[in-house]
Every structure is written in C-alpha cells, then in structure tokens.
Amino acid sequence: MATVLILLTFLLPLGVHAEVIIRGHEVKPHSRPYMAFVKSVKEDGKRSRCGGFLVQDNFVLTAAHCRGSSMTVTLGAHNIMAQEQTQQIIPVANAIPHPDYNSEDKINDIMLLKLQRKAKRTKAVDFLKLTRAKARVKPGKKCHVAGWGITSFNATKASDLLQEAELSIQVDQQCQEGFRYYSTATEICAGDPKELQLAAKGDSGGPLVCDNRAHGVYVRRRNKAGPNIFTKIPPFLPWIKRNMKLP
C-alpha cells in the first residue's frame, strides 16, 4: 500500500497557517529549480513559511496571505535543513500583494516578492515559465504541486526534503459546493479526494504546474477532505508583467 505523505512548506506545528500535500513522493534533488522556500514573521509575531516559485531573476510569485515582515527566500534547496552549496538565500526587498486581495474571502490571493538582489541561474535555480494569457486547463488534466512538509496528520515534524503530488483538474462545481468563496473567473479547482493526492495544511504559494508551465498559485482547500483551490495566473498576467516591468 502506498504511503500517505502530507507535506508542509511551512515546517510549523499543525494549526499554524500552512498547506500540505497528501500522498506525495520525494522529487529528484534540484529537479524543480524554480521552487522557493519563503520565510517571514506575521503581525502576531509568529514565524511563517510558504512556498513560491521564481519567475524572473529577482521576482518570486507566491500567495498574498503569505505576506509578513523580514521575509527571506531560499532558492536551490532540496533539503531545507541542510546547508547545500546550491542554495541561495536572498532577503525580500518588497512584497507586492495584489491590490484587490481580500483576507476574508481570499479572492485575488496572489503576490510578487521583489528580491534584494538577482538570483544566479544555475542547474538548481531557474525560472518557471508562466502560462499564456489565453491558456486553459480542462477538467481531468493532470498537473503537479510541490512542497516541504509533514508525513502524516499526526506528525509534529515536517519533511526536510522537497516532495510532490499529482493533482487532476476538477470542474468548478467541486470547489463551489458548500464553499462560500470561490471565483470561477480567477480560481482553479484541482485534486480528487478519491485519489488521496491533495494539498492541505503547507504549500501556500506553490505553483500548479501543467505541461511545465505555472497555471496557478496554491491558496487553500475547500474543506479537510475536499479539493484544492489555486489562484489562476492568466487573469493576473497584466498585473504581474506591469509590476515586474516587463514589456
């Protein structure tokens, strides 16, 4: 029987704001060079850790609810508890949440992090291409989400190693049913509870990767056993490009 794994990109005790991956597997070290480990301090003084992904040499894309103070990003990591030579730890110069983000309904939950210096591109550190403006992912499509986290619901210590799970895209109704806030215009529903491959409590900010492009940013799940909700990237491309000053 396959082992059930639950991953947290936060490496925090259960109950702290985080997201997890159920029934994941360890990825080949540094095979996801775009992954970023984001650490910060929340307003209440608690330490917070999120996922994210490198989209330009000095910009990481993540979720707006991951915003905090004294933020730092670790790139090129596989074992986040080891001092790997591949790692680049860079302070965040400016956190740029979407101006329409609402912390109550979690809509428009997306944020850019401008780094204090440019990341050096290596085999372990590289960009993840964003999906095109008109791109759509249809229900049934297989995509992936990655993160660092715990290995069971009762675990108190997270995995040090980057793990990944496969998610199937769901129809919007799966995330709308019994859930007060879900936007069909700006969100994607992914993860079949029957397959036991779900993000849950620790990958906030991590990318929904389909065909080697980022289509979404993980923000939350409908309920404990329900599918996951990602912020769609296409509707926010003009905002992303404008803030990164791309043509």
Residue 103 pLDDT grade (very low, low, confident, very high; cuts 50, 70, 90) = confident
CA pair distance 165, 144, nearest whole angstrom: 6
Question: What is this structure's pTM?
Answer: 0.86
With a cut of 80, say whether residue 23 has pLDDT above it: no
Q: Does residue 215 form part of some domain?
A: yes
Q: Does residue 44 form part of some domain?
A: yes
Neighbours of 114 (CB within 10 A): 15
Q: Residue 65 in 3-state DSSP? A: helix
With a cut of 60, say whether residue 6 has pLDDT above it: no
CATH number of the structural domain spanning residue 49 = 2.40.10.10
Q: Does residue 15 form part of some domain?
A: no
Residue 123 shares a structural domain with residue 133: no
pLDDT of residue 170: 94
Phi and psi, residue 185, nearest 5°: -80, -30
Is 65 noted as a catalytic residue in this protein?
A: yes
Helix (H) or strand (E) holding 25: strand 25-26
Residue 133 shares a structural domain with residue 123: no
For the stretch 132-147, pLDDT in tens is 998 999 999 999 999 8
Residue 111 shares a structural domain with residue 140: no
Residue 69 shares a structural domain with residue 144: no
Residue 116 shares a structural domain with residue 133: no
Residue 105 shares a structural domain with residue 172: no
For the stretch 57-99, pLDDT in tens is 999 999 999 999 889 999 999 998 899 999 999 999 999 999 9
With a cut of 50, say whether residue 11 has pLDDT above it: no
Range of 185's domain?
129-235
Is 144 noted as a catalytic residue in this protein?
A: no
Q: How many domains does the chain have?
A: 2
Average pLDDT over residues 37-46: 81
Q: Which of 30, 40, 109, 215 is catalytic?
A: 109
Which are the contacts of 104, defined by CB distance < 8 A and separation ≥ 6? none
Q: Does residue 16 form part of some domain?
A: no
Q: Which of 65, 78, 98, 215 is catalytic?
A: 65
